[in-house]
Amino acid sequence: MPQELRAVDWTGNSLALIDQTVLPHRAETVEIRDVDALVDAIQRLVVRGAPAIGAAGAYGVALALLQGEREGWDTGRVRAEVARIREARPTAVNLMVCVDRVMTRFDEGIEAVLAEAAAVQREDVEANRAMGAYGADWLLKRVGADRPLRLLTHCNTGALATAGWGTALGVIRELHARGQVEVVYADETRPLLQGSRLTAWELVQEGIPHYVQADGAAAGTILRGEVDAAIVGADRIAANGDTANKVGTVGVALACADAGIPFLVAAPTTTVDLSTASGADIHIELRGEDEVLEWAAVRTAPKESRGHNPAFDVTPGRLVTGLVTERGVLTVSAGELPGDHLR
């Protein structure tokens, strides 16, 4: 993704969001000036990806303050509107963490809120760059650097999903910069196709060789020995290392375990939620059934059929070979816990 583009940016009095629902065919930015529009943008995945949603939520506090000034809201109303942003999507913990962090500056006023939101955005990019280096070093040491790597990824974890550079795709970018990527298999990621629309778009921008594949092809590609490692993002990491990520991820992890290749999760520590004990306690967002019953507003399933549409699944920590954060790599499957990075 061209570096001058940012998935989330503050204009001075509004949020500029790349509209991820129209990529890759149209590159458009939408201006968000009120809470309703931001909640809608988060829920329709105009802005998406745990860290990007976190950055948007952080600036959303400023948006609520400015709207409150325009519309004469009292403090209680502003706080209530911020809570709507905080709860706009339930699984990605970054949204709650980043809103809560900025709210610690709420009583100091708009400038302090904006300064904290800018720090959230800046620190996410810094974390992603650090993750890229840690993850690339770990993979080259584990798999070997004698030849470029064949990698598999699921959903979109690039600059579009973050404040910049990317998490799992940031590791892939770093490996590519070192000349260590032979090919990337990008799962299309039904039903909203974050892989074939967004990850493929970013890989094209970067000139990284890749195939888009059906989600159902991932396990066979792995078990046929065509992949050296899989690397994915995360939306919430529980205290025991269980990881919620885009639906379809756990199948990739199971195939990696059976094939004996590394399954890496790359996420900033803002995605770790020590208050959630295990994956069983993670709220999995159930999205509208039409997303799986239709495509491009055309019904694909019989009218009598119902749709089951969990947006995420949970990969047990025992299947996570390594958790890459901005502080290094934890071998979760060997018993190292996310909290070890937070102490």
Ligand X SMILES: CSC[C@H]1O[C@H](OP(=O)(O)O)[C@H](O)[C@@H]1O
Measured in degrees and rounded to the nearest 5, phi and psi for residue 311 equal -80, -20
> Does 311 contact ligand X by CB under 6 A?
yes
Task: Rule CB under 6 A: choose which of 32, 39, 41, 48 binds ligand X.
Answer: 48
194 is in an annotated binding site: yes
Q: How many CB atoms lie within 10 A of CB 273?
A: 20
- Measured CA to CA in angstroms, residue 63 lies from 56, 182, 210 at distances of 10, 44, 39
- Minimum Å gap between C-beta 203 and ligand X is 15
> Does 50 contact ligand X by CB under 6 A?
yes
> Does 264 contact ligand X by CB under 6 A?
no
> Does 155 contact ligand X by CB under 6 A?
yes
Q: Which residue stretches of the chain are H helix?
A: 35-43, 50-71, 75-86, 93-103, 110-143, 168-177, 200-206, 218-223, 249-259, 290-293, 339-342
Task: Rule CB under 6 A: choose which of 57, 60, 135, 233 binds ligand X.
Answer: 233
Task: Rule CB under 6 A: choose which of 51, 132, 195, 241 binds ligand X.
Answer: 51
Applying the rule CB under 6 A, the residues between 166 and 195 that interact with ligand X are: 167, 194
Considering the complex, state which of residue 67 and residue 325 has its C-beta at the smaller distance from ligand X: 325
Give the residues across from 273 on adjacent strands: 238
Residue nearest to ligand X (CB): 233
> Does 270 contact ligand X by CB under 6 A?
no
Nearest alpha-carbon partner for 95 in 115, 75, 120: 120
Please identify which of the residues 137, 228, 235, 242 carries the catalytic annotation: 235
Measured in degrees and rounded to the nearest 5, phi and psi for residue 202 equal -65, -40
Both tokens of 12, joined, read 């001075």
Nearest alpha-carbon partner for 242 in 329, 339, 176, 173: 339
**Is the previous residue joined to 24 through a cis bond, with omega within 30 degrees of 0?**
yes
> Does 153 contact ligand X by CB under 6 A?
no
> Does 246 contact ligand X by CB under 6 A?
yes
> Does 257 contact ligand X by CB under 6 A?
no
Residues of the binding site for substrate: 48-50, 89, 194, 245-246
Interface positions with ligand X (CB under 6 A): 48-51, 155, 157, 161-162, 167, 194, 232-235, 245-246, 311
Q: Which residues are catalytic?
A: 235
